Structure 1
Amino acid sequence: MSKKGIVRNISLMLAAVLGTVNLGGCGEEASSDRAEVEMVCYKPEAVKAFEKIEARFNETHDDIHLTISSPNEAMTILKTRFIREDYPDIIGIGGDSNYSNFLDADLFLDISELEELEQVKKSYLQMDKELEFVPQEGAYALPYAANAAGVLYNKEMFQKYGWEIPETWEEFMTLCNEIQSCGIQPLYFGFKDTWTCLAPWNALAVGLADSDICSQVNREETTFKEAYRETAEKIKALLPYAEENPYAYSYNDACTAFARGESAMYPIGSYAIPQIKSVNPDMKIDSFVFPANDSEKENVLNSGIDLQFCVMKNTEQKEAVYEVLRFLYEDEVIQIYLEDQGGIACKEGDFSIPSELTGMREYIRNDRMADFQDHHYPSEMSVDAMIQTYLLDESDNSADKFLKRFDTEWKRYNRDLIRKVQEYEKGMEDAQ
């Protein structure tokens, strides 16, 4: 079938979806003498924050009218619009494989000249560089807000029993045994929803494997069998301290159980806090970085870019778009978003950090952070299900089987990417 025919069929299939989604923003009507800037964001849960931000911008700018939409199924809508070559000016997406794929498709404008990039925490700029399939000159995203993952804990329970926050793997194992000896369950997982298996996996892996390990594997410099051995062993070592048969309980079950005091700790990201608080609004929660290593100095906070802004390459109003980005990066505007959504500002500065992340504060301020490993995994590979299968496997050689499968599946689902990386590396060698 021709490309034109494919585009037509996809358009027809999704016409109903697109026809029912209002991609326009709220607020005043645009006037004809204003530059029109459209931004589509993938976070429908943040629509109220974006309504405030949009209104504030339009009230303070006579020459530019900003429209922000945060529709459900935003990524499906965006991909369909890209096929139609119907591009917004700015998109708000996460720092994950979608960003990698869009960048690889040459959809984004190089915004290196934007001065606001100099205000971004170095860790988040590095995360975006590591999401590039092959190294790119320039910068293609403005990181805005991030989340964090490690271990949430029941603060009142810890205070009651005098438990100390662990800083090393040995101290963490000792703490789990101490909690268990008090007749309390140390951990809760909820692995029925396979994606939750990635929470402890990611939080361990950032401290035990290089942040660019996927790129190293693509360059054939190492294997996952070598790089992920310790992570695989340590995630399995957590099972004796969790609820019996964690595969029978969902994410919602785990949040509810932790909120009701059925475990002292919950290895999950900051994104779970609203769900936990919806069950127990008065619960005192704090957190700590997963102490994966033998030395605290080697520990790293698992933090990823939850929202960043990218400019579409074909925008016809670059200066107006830059003005929008400068506005979005004003401290007061960032604070509007954080007060609504929580999380961590990607911009350097004295921004409020949620009280539930107090135990991670020094890592955030000192920029000791690395991205979620699964942001580099192709969704088709279903790494979450692979981890769940591994955790269920009680055979003596389960780690060997899992790691071998990881390497095999990686090559299967990244065949084209690996070839592209190796061609790039060969080109660089030839150029020298």
Structure 2
Amino acid sequence: MRRKHVVSSLILAGAVLSTLPLSGCAGTSKNDGKTEVTMVQYKPEAVAAFEEMEERFNATHDDIHLTIESPNEAMTVLKTRFIRGDYPDIIGIGGDINYSNFLDADMFLDVSDFEGVSGIKPAYLDIVDELEFIPKDGVYGLPYVANCAGILYNKDMFEENGWEIPATWSEFTDLCETIQNTSDVYPLYLGYKDTWTCMAPWNALAVGLSSPSTCSDVNAGKTTFTDAYQEVAEKDKVLLDYAEPNPYAYSYNDACTAFARGESAMYPIGSYAVPQIQSVNPDMNIDSFVFPANEDEADNVLNSGVDLQFCVMKETKHKDAVYEVLKFLYDDETIQIYLDNQNAVPCKDGDFTLPSMLDGMRSYIDEGRMSDFHDHHYPSEMSVDAMVQTYLMDDSSDSTAKFLKRFDKEWKRYNRDLIAKVQKYEEENAS
């Protein structure tokens, strides 16, 4: 019943794309009697890595043929295929609200018996568990790679000026004051014209100052965003004091370019921005550090989320062959293909080569001191990125109170059914 409810909500997407050519149903046998396993993955920027993986797998397996599809607008394509009952065997998606919705629709196979689960870092398995609307026994998402967000900094500039990496909020604001008063560069560059960029500092602050279960706790009636996000909102606005004037006039590309050209010492963004920055300045010496949101370094948390995970569809007819594909994907050499291509962080334990710009975050990664991007739990219809941008542009004395009140109001509006479901579950399982 739950699957029918969610799939019916996607009818419009199916109608719009009803003329798209779709591949055949998963699990058919072709290619000289080989078992055909199909995967649809949502990261077109990683198509080269997946093409190499597909080629290597097919060259080393005589009884299974793997086809990996990497369409643009993959989530829309997937939803359309689900409506038609045209299921791939495996999907590669992010650890976000889409995964939550598909899981709630009971579309995924429990893969607890896959041997590769034991090698995945517990912190990332916990992050995926947090995405469950209702607690569910089993493993339904296999984290593959993650990204990290905090603060990128110009390492050469720091060394030339003797600036030290801040470990607390006070040290961070003191450093910003020093840079502002003693140099001709901005401490920070923000580039908030693109609303999504407003979420980078927001998420990095939220993981350090708020519980990873904040959204589910709000749904359960245990807290409100007004209580949970007060300090997050206040500190987010402080960043404006140390950034370029009118950051809403500058886009993500503008910010990457400005940072690459040495116009700022730091850039609060994720590791995903490094290729764009290096396209402007290939020789730039970039490192990173965890956002020092707290007054005690021990309370700081790395903002890291599952950028790609694999889920097996319940409809697959060839579980053994699918598990053979997953076994190949989780081989260290295969994972390294993806890491080298995408500057990502592996979710599996192992001796991997990580990008040098993550050196400053390495101890947090190794220790598992990390928490997911809060916006992975936000419904897209709520447009929280635009809400945050509007809040940051509001200079009124009560802007924070107004913003948080609106956050609570809009959350109830867009999550009414989910809140009712969660609170019903809480009542039934109160003991």
TM-score (norm 2): 0.95
SS in 2 for 1:264: strand
Match of 1:15 in 2: 18
Residues 371-392 of structure 1, C-alpha deviations (whole Å, 9 max, x = no match) = 0000000001111111111111
Quick one: distance in 2 between partners of 1:49 and 1:353? 16
Match of 1:68 in 2: 68
Match of 1:140 in 2: 140
Residues 149-168 of structure 1, C-alpha deviations (whole Å, 9 max, x = no match) = 00000111101101000000
SS in 2 for 1:238: helix
Match of 2:329 in 1: 328
SS in 2 for 1:68: strand
Residues 55-80 of structure 1, C-alpha deviations (whole Å, 9 max, x = no match) = 11111111111000111111110000
Match of 2:391 in 1: 390
Q: Quick one: structure 1 residues 36 and 395, their matched pair in 2 at CA, closer, same or farther if it must change by over 3 Å?
A: same
Contact 1:23-1:69 within 8 A present in 2 as well: no
Residues 194-241 of structure 1, C-alpha deviations (whole Å, 9 max, x = no match) = 110000000011000000110111111111111100000101111010
Match of 1:187 in 2: 188
Match of 1:32 in 2: 32
Q: Quick one: structure 1 residues 321 and 248, their matched pair in 2 at CA, closer, same or farther if it must change by over 3 Å?
A: same
Contact 2:30-2:36 within 8 A present in 1 as well: yes
Stretches of 4+ moved more than 4 A in 1? 3-12, 21-24
SS in 2 for 1:137: coil
Amino acid at match of 1:323: E
Match of 1:307 in 2: 308
Contact 1:390-1:398 within 8 A present in 2 as well: yes
Quick one: distance in 2 between partners of 1:420 and 1:22? 35
Give the unaligned 5+ runs of structure 2.
Answer: none
Contact 2:134-2:425 within 8 A present in 1 as well: yes
Aligned-pair RMSD on alpha carbons?
A: 2.0
TM-superposed CA distance for 1:11, in Å, is 4.6
Residues 101-132 of structure 1, C-alpha deviations (whole Å, 9 max, x = no match) = 10011110000111211111111100111000
Contact 1:23-1:71 within 8 A present in 2 as well: no
Residues 163-207 of structure 1, C-alpha deviations (whole Å, 9 max, x = no match) = 000000000000000111123210000111011000000001100
Match of 1:347 in 2: 348
TM-superposed CA distance for 1:15, in Å, is 3.5
TM-superposed CA distance for 1:13, in Å, is 3.1
Number of residues paired by the alignment? 423
Quick one: distance in 1 between partners of 2:402 and 2:8? 44
Quick one: distance in 1 between partners of 2:11 and 2:97? 26
Q: Quick one: structure 1 residues 353 and 23, their matched pair in 2 at CA, closer, same or farther if it must change by over 3 Å?
A: farther
Match of 1:50 in 2: 50
Contact 2:185-2:262 within 8 A present in 1 as well: no
For residues 91-106 of structure 1, the aligned pairs below 5 Å read 91-106=91-106
SS in 1 for 2:186: coil
Quick one: distance in 2 between partners of 1:249 and 1:53? 38
Quick one: distance in 2 between partners of 1:12 and 1:347? 39
Give the unaligned 5+ runs of structure 1.
Answer: none
TM-superposed CA distance for 1:416, in Å, is 0.4
TM-score (norm 1): 0.95
Amino acid at match of 1:407: D
Amino acid at match of 1:130: E
Quick one: distance in 2 between partners of 1:115 and 1:13? 40
Residues 11-40 of structure 1, C-alpha deviations (whole Å, 9 max, x = no match) = 553134x23x8899xxxx952311110000
Q: Quick one: structure 1 residues 44 and 5, their matched pair in 2 at CA, closer, same or farther if it must change by over 3 Å?
A: closer
Quick one: distance in 2 between partners of 1:23 and 1:288? 46
